[in-house]
Structure 1
Amino acid sequence: MSGTAGTEDARAGSELAGPTRPAREPLSRARIVDAALRIMDREGLEAVSMRRLGRELGVEAMSLYNHVEDKDDVLVGICERIVSELRIPTEGEPFARLRTAALDFRAVLLRHPGALPLFAEQHRTIAREPILRPVEAALAALREAGLSPEDAVHGYRALVGYVLGFVAQEVAGIFTQPEAFGPPLEQVAAGLPADGFPALVALLPEMARCDPDEDFEFGLDLLLRGLRERAARRRRGR
């Protein structure tokens, strides 16, 4: 009888104490990179620091070094995570694959604009295998299309540079918030001599209209068309 009462008392005491707190998820490189990506997306790349990561994860900053080498390692991890969101087409016509990849790269960068400087500094990130996969896919498509080794590398750099540069302007608001960069173009043009800037004055209505998607695809298609023509000339032996 006393044993039963003791068991019931213990159970009652346990219930009064409340539910058991779940064990904290172990710290890992993946958790650290996830936290860094969250901070970057919310507050910008400059907010990512080892101390800030420690606060985000509820640990001492020094404990992070058991899982990552340093802040640069965390930043590379961010790039790896972002690249993992990319679709890497491996089937279909080479230039169609490149177009799909460029459109997707832009979309991913717009989701994570804080990462733009990291991808611009490719010397920091390029040596990691996950980041090299889309590079390999792009170079393979350019070679399959018939470009020479030299032109394939030029083409790859031109495509990446175009995407990064265009997205940098988008993120800055040049297309959607031009007033942040100075007086409206119409106001500036009104003070210009019409005979000195006839093309600008004539095209002001078009200049005032902006569709970033349309602009991006226009430039991308021009670039791909030029690469296609270069590959065709090489096949003809010219």
Structure 2
Amino acid sequence: MESRTGKRAAAAGGKRAESGRPRPSLSPRLIVEACLELMDTVGADALTFRRIGAQLGADPTALYRHFRNKDDLLLAVADHLLEEGLEGLEPSDDWRQTLRGLFIRIHKVYLSHPRAAVLATVRITRRPAEMRVIEMTLTALSDAGFSPEEAVRHYRALVDSVLAWSCMDATYCTLDAHTRRGDESAWSGEYAVVPAATHPHIAAAAPYLASVEDGANFHFALDLMLDAIAARAPSNPA
């Protein structure tokens, strides 16, 4: 079955190769989408120009017209994920709601592409989508009353926490199903029978440890960060 990027490449058209197949008119976006599709299905090992060229039906050397090397392509993929998170997002009049909505969206995108997210969350893309995220975040923190210097410190603490959490969640998604089931069952298994004599607080909390859902816990952790920022904000009447 032909992939989505393969269909788009064929539709892009251009001159025909000797085999009679149309040569795709490559663009940075088409290459990034092909790369992301391969990473979703195969994993990080798919991040090679040879594999991406084969996916697009193009000579791998043609990719170098758009990306200097593999790392340049990875940064473009990382920025593409942020662009997905930003799509259709309008800042709120409430700075806190702007930040909450932005980072919930970005976390969701990372979990929809976990193999790419594992590589992307630790990088600085230097590209338009990342700059939009930074500008939106600093604008919201400025609206909260922080000076530029204070806004940057709070920006880094908040964003690094969100990225670290997203990387952890994405890495967990890449584990095989058997391993995930084993880890998840530990809360209702081994931890549920820990003796109160040796671990009294674990024993008391055991009924609740198994009830924590990862997605809801991310929202909880994000709200904790935003609560802390709001408490420190110069605009806080308290």
TM-score, reference length from structure 2: 0.77
Matched, 1:99 2:100: yes
| C-alpha contact (below 8 Å) 2:196/2:204 kept by paired residues | no
2: CA distance, partners of 1:54 / 1:221:
43
Name the amino acid aligned to 1:91.
S
| C-alpha contact (below 8 Å) 2:144/2:233 kept by paired residues | yes
Matched, 1:129 2:128: yes
Matched, 1:160 2:159: yes
Tell me the residue number matched to 1:108.
Answer: 109
Tell me the residue number matched to 2:186.
Answer: 184
Tell me the residue number matched to 1:5.
Answer: none
- Among all aligned residue pairs of Structure 1 and Structure 2, give the percentage whose two residues are the same amino acid: 32
Matched, 1:149 2:120: no
| C-alpha contact (below 8 Å) 2:82/2:130 kept by paired residues | yes
1: CA distance, partners of 2:184 / 2:205:
19
Tell me the residue number matched to 2:48.
Answer: 49
1: CA distance, partners of 2:182 / 2:45:
22
Tell me the residue number matched to 1:66.
Answer: 65
| C-alpha contact (below 8 Å) 2:35/2:77 kept by paired residues | yes
Report the secondary structure of 2:198's partner residue. coil
Is there any run of 5+ residues in structure 2 with no aligned partner, and where? 1-19
How much has 1:118 moved relative to structure 2? 3.6
2: CA distance, partners of 1:160 / 1:225:
15
Deviations 1:179-205 (A, max 9, x none): 434972454346744233111101111
2: CA distance, partners of 1:56 / 1:170:
28
2: CA distance, partners of 1:51 / 1:30:
17
TM-score, reference length from structure 1: 0.77
Tell me the residue number matched to 1:16.
Answer: none
RMSD, aligned α-carbons: 2.7
How much has 1:23 moved relative to structure 2? 4.1
Could you say if the C-alpha distance between residues 155 and 46 of structure 1 is closer, same or farther in structure 2, counting changes exceeding 3 Å? Answer: farther
| C-alpha contact (below 8 Å) 1:146/1:235 kept by paired residues | no
Could you say if the C-alpha distance between residues 28 and 200 of structure 1 is closer, same or farther in structure 2, counting changes exceeding 3 Å? Answer: same
2: CA distance, partners of 1:182 / 1:38:
28
Report the secondary structure of 1:195's partner residue. coil
Could you say if the C-alpha distance between residues 206 and 38 of structure 1 is closer, same or farther in structure 2, counting changes exceeding 3 Å? Answer: same
1: CA distance, partners of 2:100 / 2:192:
39
Name the amino acid aligned to 1:45.
A
Is there any run of 5+ residues in structure 1 with no aligned partner, and where? 1-20
| C-alpha contact (below 8 Å) 1:89/1:100 kept by paired residues | no
* Aligned residue pair count: 213
How much has 1:82 moved relative to structure 2? 1.7
| C-alpha contact (below 8 Å) 1:49/1:71 kept by paired residues | yes
2: CA distance, partners of 1:37 / 1:64:
15
How much has 1:73 moved relative to structure 2? 1.9
2: CA distance, partners of 1:129 / 1:53:
23
Tell me the residue number matched to 2:8.
Answer: none
2: CA distance, partners of 1:178 / 1:70:
34
Matched, 1:32 2:68: no
Could you say if the C-alpha distance between residues 80 and 186 of structure 1 is closer, same or farther in structure 2, counting changes exceeding 3 Å? Answer: closer
1: CA distance, partners of 2:206 / 2:160:
28
2: CA distance, partners of 1:46 / 1:149:
41
Report the secondary structure of 1:85's partner residue. helix
1: CA distance, partners of 2:76 / 2:151:
28
Report the secondary structure of 1:73's partner residue. helix
